[in-house]
């Protein structure tokens, strides 16, 4: 009797599992069907868009040809202007190079002046220390004599 009940329980468990799998399969099927219908709608829309895009492409090619003719005239003027600007750029580069050289010299002079100032400050500090030591020595001698 236990074996029979066990088998019945196993069958019930198996049936429940199959029901769950069936429900999942139905859900997947419904989702797929929705996606399929959306894809069919998109396909129809894409076909209509293709016709519109082909007409637009033809119109744009005409505009492109007209624009190319216009661009060729502008291009020669642009090349002339580019040459003028390039020459001006070279002049500015030369001036910048000269300014950089001047700046480097000024920086070197400033560095030398800073080093000299530091040396003089050190000398002044040493002189002040020597003066203070001498003064302290004199004050100490004066106190001894009093």
- Domain region containing 51: 1-106
The pLDDT tens digits of the residues spanning 93-116 come to 999 999 999 999 999 989 999 999
Which whole-number Å values give the CA distances from 120 to 108, 131, 133, 135, in the listed order? 18, 16, 20, 22
Q: Evaluate if pTM is beyond 0.75.
A: no
Is residue 66 assigned to a domain?
yes
Is residue 11 assigned to a domain?
yes
Is residue 94 assigned to a domain?
yes
pLDDT band at 126 (very low <50, low <70, confident <90, very high): confident
Is residue 42 assigned to a domain?
yes
Give yes or no for residue 143 having a pLDDT over 70: no
Interior/surface letters 111-143, b for 16+ CB within 10 angstroms, e for the rest: eeeeeeeeeeeeeeeeeeeeeeeeeeeeeeeee
Provide the number of structural domains found in the chain: 1
Distance in angstroms (rounded) separating the CA atoms of residues 39 and 36 = 5
Is residue 143 assigned to a domain?
no
Is residue 69 assigned to a domain?
yes
The pLDDT tens digits of the residues spanning 45-76 come to 999 999 999 999 999 999 999 899 888 888 88
Is residue 125 assigned to a domain?
no
Q: Supply the pLDDT for residue 91.
A: 94
Is residue 116 assigned to a domain?
no
Q: Supply the pLDDT for residue 88.
A: 95
Q: Supply the pLDDT for residue 55.
A: 94
């Amino acid at each position: 009797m236990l074996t029979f009940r066990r088998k019945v329980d196993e069958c019930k468990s198996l049936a429940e599992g199959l029901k769950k799998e069936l429900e999942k399969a139905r859900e997947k099927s419904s989702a797929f069907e929705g996606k399929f219908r959306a894809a069919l709608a998109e396909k129809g829309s894409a076909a209509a868009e293709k016709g519109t895009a082909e007409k637009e492409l033809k119109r744009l090619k005409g505009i492109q040809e007209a624009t190319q003719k216009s661009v060729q005239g502008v291009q020669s003027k642009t090349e002339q202007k580019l040459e003028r600007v390039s020459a001006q750029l070279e002049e500015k580069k030369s001036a910048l190079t000269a300014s950089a050289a001047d700046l480097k010299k000024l920086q070197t002079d400033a560095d030398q002046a800073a080093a000299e100032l530091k040396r003089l400050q050190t000398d002044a500090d040493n002189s002040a220390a020597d003066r203070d030591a001498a003064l302290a020595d004199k004050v100490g001698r004066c106190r001894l004599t009093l």
